[in-house]
Structure 1
Amino acid sequence: MPHTENHATHREVELLETLRAQGGSARTSHLADVLSVSEETIRRTVKVLAKTGMVQRVHGGVYLSNTEALDPVGSRLKIRTKAKGQIAAVAASMIPSGSCVFLDVGSTTAHVATGLRSHRDLKVVTNGIHAAQALVDNNDNQVFLAGGALYHVEDGTFGPETIEFVERFNIDVAVISIDGFDCETGFLLSSAAEAALARAVTQRARRVLVVTDVTKFGQSAPLIACKPRDVTAVLIDKLPDRIFHQKLIEWEIEVVVVPDSKTGKTR
C-alpha cells in the first residue's frame, strides 16, 4: 500500500526519481541495474505507473509523461509568463506587508516574489534562489535563504537541513506550486525532496496559497504536496473542469480565477 505521504509505492517513487536523474527516460535494463532489481520487476512497476499516466512505455524502455518538471526553473520562468504574472499579482495582493512569507522554488512563485517588491517589512523565507534575489535589499524586506543541498534544476535547496531551517519560522502565508492534481489525494509533486518540504511548510503556515495553471489539473505525480485541509486558496488562470472544481469546493478551498489584465474579466 502507498505510504501516507506518497501517491505511489516506495518502489514506484524510487523508479520515478531515477528517471528524473536520468533526464526523463531510460532503458529497462539500465533501471534494473541502477535499482538492483530484475528487469521483470521494472516492467511490472512501469506497467502500474503507465496506467496512472505518469510514464509512457516504449520498446525496451520508459520515459516520463510530464517532462516540464525536468526543465530548469530559469527556463520555466519564460513559459506562460502572462498567466504566471497575472496569478502572481493577485497572490501578492493577498499578502499584507509585514507578513512572514514562505516562497517555494516554482516558477510562478518566483513571479510572486517579483510582485511582492512593493511590499514593506516582509520576512521572506525561501529555498529558491530566484525568489531570494527578487526581494533582497528591497523596502526593508528581510530574506532568509534556507541551507541544504543545492539542486540545479530547481535552483533551490532541499533536504533535512532545509526543513529544519524553515521550521524555525512562524509563517503567516506559504505560497507553493504543484506538478499535478487529482480528486483522490489533491495536490501533487514529482520530487521527493520538494514534496517533503512542502508538507512541512503547509502544516505550519496559517494560510497556504497554491499558485498554478489549469494544465496541472488531471496531471499525475507520485508524491503528495500537502493535505487539502491545509490549503486556503488555489489561484489559477482558468476554471478547472467541473469534477476538479467540485472537489475543491467540497474541501472548502477558495478558488480564485485570475482576471485577464486586458479585459478585467475572469476567464
Structure 2
Amino acid sequence: MNPSKRQLDILKNVRFNGFCTTAALAETLQVSMETIRRNVNSLVTEGLLEKVHGGVSLPESIPEPSFSRRLAEDKEAKQQIATLVAAQIRNGESLFLDNSSTTAYVAMALSEHKNLFIVTNSASIANILVSRNGNRVFLAGGELREHDAGAFGPEALEFVGRFELDHAILSASAVHCEKGFMVNHLCEAVFSQTLISHSQQSIMVLDHSKFDKMAPVKQCDFSQISQFVSDSTPLNPLLEAIKLGGCDLLTAESQTFSQ
C-alpha cells in the first residue's frame, strides 16, 4: 500500500471515530507505530488532521464524507454487486436494506421489481424505492445522521424488530479473515445484528476495497451471513475463512463457493 493510500485509510478511521490514538491506528491498519507517526505528521502538516492529547482528530472544518461522495467511490464495483443481488430477489419479496452506499446501488438495481416490501433506516434508500411498482416502503424512525441520513438508536431498533422478512441486505466497513465483518460505529453493529436475526437470509454486499481490512467494531461472523456478494474474489486466507464459516460467496467473476 503506497503512502497516499495509507493516509486515506488513516483519515477514514479518524473521520468515523472522531478521535484515534496512534496505537489504535497501527493495530487497525496493521502497520508499525513509526509508520503511523510519519503519515500522521504529514497529514497534520497538510492541515487534514490535528494533534490532541493522546491522539489525533479531524480539524473542525473537515466534515464527515457525504452520502453522495460515498456513492461516487468504487461506483463500478458497487453496480456489479447490485446487479448480482437484484437478480436473486423476486417480485413480492420482503427485505431489509441498511444505509450503506452499496445497498443504495442495490435499491437502484431493484427499480424494475414489483410489489416489494421494504424496511430501511435510510431516507435516501427509501426515496429510491417509494411510490414505484406497488412497493411498500417502511422507514425506521429516530434522528437522521447528518452525513448519510441514516436512523439509528432505540427507536430504529424497536421499529425494525417488529418485522420478519425474507432478506436482510447489509454492508460493512471491512472484512478480515480472523475478525469477520467489521464496522466503524457500535450502533451500526447492533443494527446489523437486529436485521440478521429478523430475516430468513442475510446478504452481505461489500466491494474489494474492504478486503483484509479492519475497523473498530465487530459486526458479525461469517457464519451469520448466508451469502457474501462482491465484485471480485478475495485471496487466502480470507477466502478460506469465508468458506469455513459456511458463507456462500458470489462474485462478479462468476465464482461461487458453497458449503
Q: TM-score, normalised by structure 2?
A: 0.78
Alignment of structure 1 residues 66-215 onto 2, 5 Å: 70-215=64-209
Deviations 1:10-36 (A, max 9, x none): xxxxxx9986364xx67xxxxxxxxxx
Match of 1:36 in 2: none
Partner secondary structure for residue 210 of structure 1: strand
Selected match of 2:16 from 17, 20, 40: 20
Partner secondary structure for residue 16 of structure 2: helix
Selected match of 1:249 from 235, 243, 256: 243
Q: What are the ranges of 5 or more consecutive residues in structure 2 without an aligned counterpart?
A: 1-11, 42-50, 58-63
Pair 17,79 (structure 1): closer, same or farther in 2 beyond 3 Å: closer
Q: Is the 8 A contact 2:17 2:184 kept in 1?
A: no
Give the CA deviation at 1:80.
1.8
Q: Is the 8 A contact 1:127 1:145 kept in 2?
A: yes
Q: Is the 8 A contact 2:204 2:227 kept in 1?
A: yes
Task: After superposing the two structures, state which structure 1 stretch, 250-259 or 55-64, moved more.
Answer: 55-64
Residue 232 of structure 2 is aligned to residue 232 of structure 1: no
Pair 47,136 (structure 1): closer, same or farther in 2 beyond 3 Å: same
Pair 242,100 (structure 1): closer, same or farther in 2 beyond 3 Å: same
Q: Distance in 2 between matches of 1:158 and 1:147?
A: 8
Deviations 1:63-108 (A, max 9, x none): 58xxxxx422211111221111111011011112111100011111
Deviations 1:98-128 (A, max 9, x none): 1110001111100100111111111100001
| Letter of the structure 1 residue corresponding to residue 194 of structure 2 | A
Pair 120,245 (structure 1): closer, same or farther in 2 beyond 3 Å: same
Q: Distance in 1 between matches of 2:184 and 2:130?
A: 29
Residue 44 of structure 2 is aligned to residue 50 of structure 1: no
| Letter of the structure 2 residue corresponding to residue 82 of structure 1 | E
Match of 1:222 in 2: 216
Pair 118,161 (structure 1): closer, same or farther in 2 beyond 3 Å: same
Partner secondary structure for residue 157 of structure 1: coil
Deviations 1:207-241 (A, max 9, x none): 01111111211111111222322201111111111
Give the CA deviation at 1:154.
2.3
Q: Is the 8 A contact 2:116 2:134 kept in 1?
A: yes
Partner secondary structure for residue 132 of structure 1: helix
Partner secondary structure for residue 151 of structure 2: strand
Q: Is the 8 A contact 1:17 1:191 kept in 2?
A: no
RMSD over equivalenced CA pairs, Å? 2.5
Q: Distance in 2 between matches of 1:17 and 1:165?
A: 29
Pair 220,18 (structure 1): closer, same or farther in 2 beyond 3 Å: closer
Match of 1:35 in 2: none
